[in-house]
Structure 1
Amino acid sequence: MRVLDHLLKAIRDAAVFNPEVQVAPACILWPDRDRQWEAVIPVLQAELPELMILGDYVPEKRSGPAIWLRCVIAGRAEDVSLPEDKTPIVYLPGVSRQDLRAVESCPDHLKPVAELQYRGVIWSQINAKDWTILAWLKSDQGGLGLDVAQDNEAKSAMQLALYRLLDEEVSLLKGKRLDKDYFNTLLTGGDPIRDLLQWLDQGEAFQAGRPEHEWKAFVEVCRSQLAFNPQSEGVLAGSTKLANHEGPWHAVWERYCEAPKRYPHIPGQIRKCQPPVFDLFADDKVAGGWPQWNDNQEINLHRDLLALAKVPAHEARAKIKELEKQHSRRRSLVWTELGEAPLACALEHLSIIAETTKTSLAAGSVDDLAGGYQSWGWRVDDGVLRALAHVDAPSDVEAMTTAVRAVYLPWMEDSARYIQKLLDGASYPGGTCLTAKPASFSPGDCVLFVDGLRFDLGKRLVDSIEARGYEIFEEPAWTALPSVTATGKAAVTPVRDKIRGEDGSPDFEPSVADTGQSLKGGYHLKKLLANAGCSILERSADGDGQGMAWCEFGDIDHEGHDRGWKLAKHIDALILEITDRIAELLAAGWKRVRVVTDHGWLLLPGGLPKIDLPSALADNKWGRCASLKPGATSEDRLYPWYWNPHQYFALADGVSCFKKGEEYTHGGLSLQECLTLQLTVTRGESAQAAASVEFTDVVWKGLRCTVAVVGNFSGLSLDVRSQAGNSLSSVVVGSKPLKDNGTASVVVENEEMEGREATVVLIDTNGSLVAQIGTVIGGDVI
């Protein structure tokens, strides 16, 4: 029970009587000479409809003079009525029991109620003294029997904090020492460290937004617990102590580090203070509280990374490893969470690049080369993207660009030249349309085409899908040459055998084998797919899981061409979108989602090296490939076109590019562009078991959606989303678990959503989609 509950009971219990020898008391008088209880009377009146106050005539507040109180008790006042089953209670502020004893000498304004002491009872201590707050809290005879300090500071804090104390559980107060610190802490909200951090963050606005008694209590808590006076010492002194986080301030610092974004102005406050002098190798536990120290560390790291432009690759790798030892500790500091250590964060991935690129891929056969890349080489490309994702400021981008180019460019150039040399005059492992293995697809397959899903991104996608509880089969695959969408997309369709390349095609676009109609624009490709029995699913359509389907999704290649190196900052969001799309398709009933892609790509901040190819020699010149004019010759290597082995085209040497300043491009021959990962995704065992669930009813009543399902629905929850696979697109107040009878209801919180299309989904405990059905909010199933 709360303190309030005990207080209410204690007051009402004063009216308990023995009907065998007594009559019911006319009222309960509550004298309070020092007005200690006055501040909480409004709270008590909300709980005690029978509680009246001696004071000014304000009947709506059940307050009035003594004669009016007599009338109310007698049932003769028309302006207020009391509950018939409760004994009236009269609170007497500024009046003691002694004031009522002698009616003749009693002040005139009290005489009408003085007589009530004989017909009523007085709520008082067993020794007939008035109940003070201290007495009631301490006494075990009619009070709570708590351990309460009795010094003046504790009494003062106790009275100020009484309205907060009323909500405390008595069981939690037993055995606790209630002193001035406890009451002051209670008065300031029960969390003095939070209040201190808010004060440091808000400055004068913190004090201005609080009553004077709460501010005083806050000051007293700081003085007692931290030996610090906010009133006299000020915010900057407190910020200095926070940064140094010594003694009792260590707990304050740890609390700040738990959620620094709640206090956005604290770093600025600390920056106004003068930090101690730290050497280069200062202990981060000491120096790490000062953003100025972290700033200097970032400046030093920036300088050291820029210096890598002047050293050979092997020295750059060694230097990066040295820098990682020096700066890695800063990633555990609060400044990292606040985004103030971007180079230190990027350095983690840069060091992986440096360590991994010590080993060259350029050795052995093509199979050896591919095996090394599949095993560990892709991690270098992944590391580059993860490192670049951390930087924003132009100076940081410059430093990271310099470092990446120092160790990554020679390594990728080496492997590209090696594979080009191996395949000079030899067969490309991806073959041509005449030698490639026939496409193998089965009923229940939905082929999901993702443009530009490079090998390392395929690995990220695997991790994302596995986290949802799905099963995945990975299969490395060589793209069609040249590694551009026009050539590669058609090569991964179920209708590959119905496509050929026309002689003289300059744009690498194949055609329908029977009619010669170009696949450019996609119309004739979709027509081939439809004629072969494939459903064409548009971007938001899911199909019914029957037969086979073709679906295109993902903006990786588009984003890469638009953003250049900044693609790195959007990879995780793009992968999440693809994961959600796969989840939607499996939930719609497809047995397998076959993820395929057309090509990978090269990405290098600062631009890939340029190689010249005179325009006079080329019919069509892309970033990494070109179709030559009839009779033209070039020193660049020539390769047969996948769709027409009698037509050749030129590929840029190494990782160079026919265009200047290209940071993102593809079309050439390299592991990054040509070795991809195809995925087959199915439901895991738990998802397969749950997949038998079916909707039997979806009913809208206004904005409330009620569903009924049958099957294995144990552990499933109901949600309504604007995008089925995106949990952030939920439009309801909250998802709800299905009841034992297979039903659940959810409510759409935004009335403006009524009439819009959405998807009713069932999700398991991992957040994976299990089943879904289209609907119109407030309307019908679609």
Structure 2
Amino acid sequence: MSKILKHLLKAVREASIFNPETRVAPVCILWPDRDRQWETVIPLLQVELPELFILGDYAPDKRIGPAIWLRCVIAGKGDHALSKAHPPIFYLPGVSRQDLRAVESCPDLLKPLAELQYRGVIWSQINAKDWTILAFIKSDQGGLGLDVAQDNDTKNAMQLALHRLLDEDIELIKGKRLDKDYFNTLLSGGDPVRDLLQWLDQEHAFKNARTENEWMAFVAVCKSQLAFNPQQEGVLAGAEKLANHQGPWLGVWERFCEAPLRYPNIPALIRKCKMPHPDIFANESTFGGWPQWNEAEENGLRNRLLSLNNGLVQTVRSELQELDRQHGPRRQLVWAELGEAPLDKALEKLLEVAELTQIACASGTLEELSAHYRSVGWRVDDAVLKALALIEKVVDLEAVTAVIRALYLPWLENSARYLQQQVGVSGYPGEALATAKATAYPEGQCLLFVDGLRLDAAKRLREMLENLGLDVTEKVIWTALPSVTATGKAAVSPIRDKITGNDGNSDFEPCVMATGQSLKGGYHFKKLIQDSGWKILDHMDNGDGQGNAWCEFGDIDHEGHDRGWKLAKHLANLLKEINERIDALLKAGWKSVRVVTDHGWLLMPGGLPKTELPNTLTDNKWGRCACLKPGASTDQKLYAWYWNPSHHFVLADGVSCFKNGDEYTHGGLSLQECLTLELTVSRNKSVMPPVSVKVTDLVWKGLRCTIGVDGSFAGLSLDIRQQAGDALTSVVVEPKSLKQNGAASVLVENVDLDGQKVVLVLLNDEGSLVTQMDTVIGGNSA
């Protein structure tokens, strides 16, 4: 859509267009305005036109000065740098074109400008008359060509509403009769609900930005439509009415909830009001407009969660179900959207942990254990991370940690011990170096190494890649033991057949088979890759898609060691960066990108349990693995090193750790550390199959549209547009994400659109259209 302001700016600037065959470039554009009709909006235009100067009393910081100063501006003697693309524009309030033409009788203060009418150009109508507001809006020769009444009341109202008029979209008012009623409505804001919310949010700024006429028009509309006098009752009375949202204020409240971030000061304003005293039946339907009530509910939830510390697993599950019945509805309130209900949102993920951990990852064969973890078990890890990601305050972390340690820690412990027991009987299911098969790398494939891409993170990454329309296949990989980068990175590289391990390696770092040179530091590792005919791409290099390439990207493991539990808060952004990197590699021409990793990890807020292993027995001791000194003995279990089966090391039992207080660590034997996914990503060569989504319900109540959707609607959002493929033609306050039940509701702000045909669209996370259907604003689907 095109604003009137944009057309005005373009029209003024285009006055300087000239034929170089017959004229020289004008040194300036003169804008005479005898009746000062444009004067009130000139400061606004100066923001958009840095070359716009004003004739008046000397105030150079505001680009205002007398005629002689304006001459200095042209000569480049002032402090204002002139644009090479646009000549300066001189707005002349109270001056007409005729004043400049009458050089002899021209007032002394104008005489320095008189000759500029010959060296410059005057912005005027085709009939040489000065542009008035009415002429510009009405004329179809250099103006907008709109239908405007010409009576004096309309002219007066139009001038008073000029600053609002400039913000109007031309396409929306073409064909309308613009009369005094239109401009008076525009003067009062055209949308009393929006104006009321803006006033509540920015009381003094709102009033100061309006003329007395505009302010009184706003007051009159509020009195008429909301039975509320802003001038007499004040913002606190208005905030109280908004929080209670009774009667006509319900619509105001719903508008606030549509886009609360537009009004950041309203929550604090409501907090200044005295909330009605809640009784034992208080709930979100009665007190949901009060942030104080929501805060009290969060405090109560926090205390209940803290009380679950060291509770019996079944008791904790039952308590979470009860808490969700009590607090779940608050997740639909505006306070949750504003981030003021983090515990309530975390509760939803904790309940998921409670439900999923009822099925233990501690039964069946190793193959069955792996299959269960890949289908269900990883979701427990994912839910824990998503619960932690919502937390900002230390007191909230303590509450969430209490539940995680009560439910997740025993589940982790049982699954790890069961895996270790089965490995003791059947052997480690990972591929042994001695029997490893050569890996095929197709021409045009790039191998992307991501340090610490745990299985649940890989599942998230796969979903993100598929949302880009990419084909993704996954392959289960058991990591090399121990599950640390020194051992695992080389094991997934294309040159693992040129690597071995010596008996003297106590740091789990293998070496070059031919020379015995350690791979520590990376130099010899990269040299082996290059000597094998592979390219190495640094972080900024996407390559050319020819041959094969190795590149490393992603800081998951580094962030985990540095941040502990806070990795959960950063994981989504880390995965987004990896997602973008893969997409860039494919766009650079690689036929496929194979994503490999070295290990997973354990994460436990508050620290993993510690197990003792004296330093006197070890040459090297990490969080979950240790290398014994020659001749030392221990009751701990010994495991063969991937790079040298005759070289053994110790792994901690269960999910315990050799160090105290580690929240993030790896190197041991657990599903989270050892079971990973290799993702192979390629561009979809065929047409993307349609997403299975169907709009089953569409209801208009006034200007509010509510829909219901069936099918694969996760991650989709609702928008209403005048043109389906153009986001700039959206007519709603803002698109809304579909809720878990497939419903969404949006509001059309402009009442003048009632009855117009539009397009309802559903969008994915990338903003691409998934489906669309025609509808009529305020009516049934067309």
TM-score normalised by L of structure 2: 0.69
1:340 partnered with 2:340: yes
CA distance in 1, matches of 2:477, 2:417: 20
Post-superposition Cα deviations, 1:326-357, rounded to whole Å, max 9, x if no partner, equal 22211111111211111111111111111100
Match of 2:376 in 1: 376
CA distance in 2, matches of 1:39, 1:229: 33
Secondary structure, aligned partner of 2:285: helix
Match of 1:234 in 2: 234
- Cα distance change on mapping 1:468 and 1:767 into 2, 3 Å: farther
Residue type at the aligned position of 2:315: E
Match of 1:185 in 2: 185
The Cα of 1:174 is off from its aligned counterpart by: 8.6
CA distance in 1, matches of 2:627, 2:614: 12
Instruction: Report which stretch shifted further, 160-169 or 632-641.
Output: 160-169
Structure number, greater radius of gyration = 1
Contact 2:479 2:488 in 1 (8 A): yes
Match of 2:318 in 1: 318
Match of 2:707 in 1: none
Residue type at the aligned position of 1:338: L
- Cα distance change on mapping 1:260 and 1:163 into 2, 3 Å: closer
1:44-59 matched pairs, under 5 angstroms: none
1:69-80 matched pairs, under 5 angstroms: none
1:502-513 matched pairs, under 5 angstroms: 502-513=502-513
Match of 2:679 in 1: 679
Match of 1:514 in 2: 514
CA distance in 1, matches of 2:130, 2:244: 56
Unaligned runs of 5+ in 1: 5-36, 47-57, 73-77, 92-130, 132-142, 689-764, 769-782
The Cα of 1:241 is off from its aligned counterpart by: 0.7
The Cα of 1:655 is off from its aligned counterpart by: 0.3
Contact 1:594 1:680 in 2 (8 A): yes
The Cα of 1:145 is off from its aligned counterpart by: 10
1:562-573 matched pairs, under 5 angstroms: 562-573=562-573
CA distance in 2, matches of 1:162, 1:524: 72
Match of 1:439 in 2: 439
Contact 1:147 1:175 in 2 (8 A): no
Match of 2:426 in 1: 426
Residue type at the aligned position of 1:306: L
Unaligned runs of 5+ in 2: 6-33, 46-91, 107-113, 135-145, 689-764, 769-782
CA distance in 2, matches of 1:340, 1:511: 53
Secondary structure, aligned partner of 1:440: coil
- Cα distance change on mapping 1:239 and 1:611 into 2, 3 Å: same
The Cα of 1:678 is off from its aligned counterpart by: 0.3
CA distance in 1, matches of 2:614, 2:131: 103
- Cα distance change on mapping 1:86 and 1:416 into 2, 3 Å: closer
Contact 2:610 2:658 in 1 (8 A): yes
The Cα of 1:616 is off from its aligned counterpart by: 0.7
Secondary structure, aligned partner of 1:277: coil
Contact 2:310 2:402 in 1 (8 A): no
Secondary structure, aligned partner of 2:307: helix
Match of 1:18 in 2: none
1:357 partnered with 2:382: no
Contact 1:451 1:485 in 2 (8 A): yes
Contact 1:185 1:221 in 2 (8 A): no
Post-superposition Cα deviations, 1:571-590, rounded to whole Å, max 9, x if no partner, equal 11111111111112112221
Match of 1:640 in 2: 640
Residue type at the aligned position of 2:436: A
CA distance in 1, matches of 2:388, 2:171: 56
1:120-519 matched pairs, under 5 angstroms: 160-161=160-161, 184-279=184-279, 282-519=282-519
Match of 1:62 in 2: 96
Match of 1:670 in 2: 670
1:619 partnered with 2:619: yes
- Cα distance change on mapping 1:544 and 1:642 into 2, 3 Å: same
Residue type at the aligned position of 1:457: A
- Cα distance change on mapping 1:44 and 1:337 into 2, 3 Å: closer
CA distance in 2, matches of 1:59, 1:766: 49
Post-superposition Cα deviations, 1:590-641, rounded to whole Å, max 9, x if no partner, equal 1111100000000000000011101111111100000111121112111111
Contact 1:243 1:253 in 2 (8 A): yes
Q: What's the % identity of the aligned pairs?
A: 57
Contact 1:389 1:568 in 2 (8 A): yes
Contact 1:518 1:524 in 2 (8 A): yes
The Cα of 1:433 is off from its aligned counterpart by: 1.1
- Cα distance change on mapping 1:367 and 1:64 into 2, 3 Å: closer
Post-superposition Cα deviations, 1:531-573, rounded to whole Å, max 9, x if no partner, equal 2211111121122222211111110000000000000011111
1:583-732 matched pairs, under 5 angstroms: 583-685=583-685
The Cα of 1:189 is off from its aligned counterpart by: 3.2
CA distance in 2, matches of 1:457, 1:158: 59
The Cα of 1:504 is off from its aligned counterpart by: 2.7
- Cα distance change on mapping 1:515 and 1:277 into 2, 3 Å: same
The Cα of 1:403 is off from its aligned counterpart by: 1.2
CA distance in 1, matches of 2:500, 2:389: 41
Contact 1:157 1:217 in 2 (8 A): no
CA distance in 2, matches of 1:574, 1:470: 19
CA distance in 1, matches of 2:166, 2:95: 21
Instruction: Report which stretch shifted further, 315-324 or 380-389.
Output: 315-324
> How much is the aligned-residue C-alpha RMSD, in angstroms?
3.9
Instruction: Report which stretch shifted further, 295-304 or 209-218.
Output: 209-218
Contact 2:96 2:130 in 1 (8 A): no
Match of 2:777 in 1: none
The Cα of 1:482 is off from its aligned counterpart by: 0.4
Secondary structure, aligned partner of 1:309: coil
The Cα of 1:39 is off from its aligned counterpart by: 7.6
Instruction: Report which stretch shifted further, 472-481 or 585-594.
Output: 585-594
Contact 1:294 1:335 in 2 (8 A): yes
The Cα of 1:216 is off from its aligned counterpart by: 1.4
Secondary structure, aligned partner of 2:218: helix
1:26-37 matched pairs, under 5 angstroms: none
Contact 2:125 2:131 in 1 (8 A): no
The Cα of 1:231 is off from its aligned counterpart by: 0.5
The Cα of 1:175 is off from its aligned counterpart by: 9.2
The Cα of 1:90 is off from its aligned counterpart by: 14
Post-superposition Cα deviations, 1:387-429, rounded to whole Å, max 9, x if no partner, equal 0000011111111111111110010111001011111153200
Match of 1:29 in 2: none
CA distance in 1, matches of 2:241, 2:351: 35
Contact 1:184 1:220 in 2 (8 A): no
CA distance in 2, matches of 1:473, 1:229: 63
CA distance in 1, matches of 2:41, 2:326: 62
Contact 1:554 1:574 in 2 (8 A): yes
CA distance in 2, matches of 1:546, 1:623: 41
Post-superposition Cα deviations, 1:486-517, rounded to whole Å, max 9, x if no partner, equal 11011001111111110131111111122211
- Cα distance change on mapping 1:638 and 1:189 into 2, 3 Å: same
When the two structures are aligned, how many residues end up with a matched partner? 589
Secondary structure, aligned partner of 2:302: helix
The Cα of 1:196 is off from its aligned counterpart by: 1.2
TM-score normalised by L of structure 1: 0.69
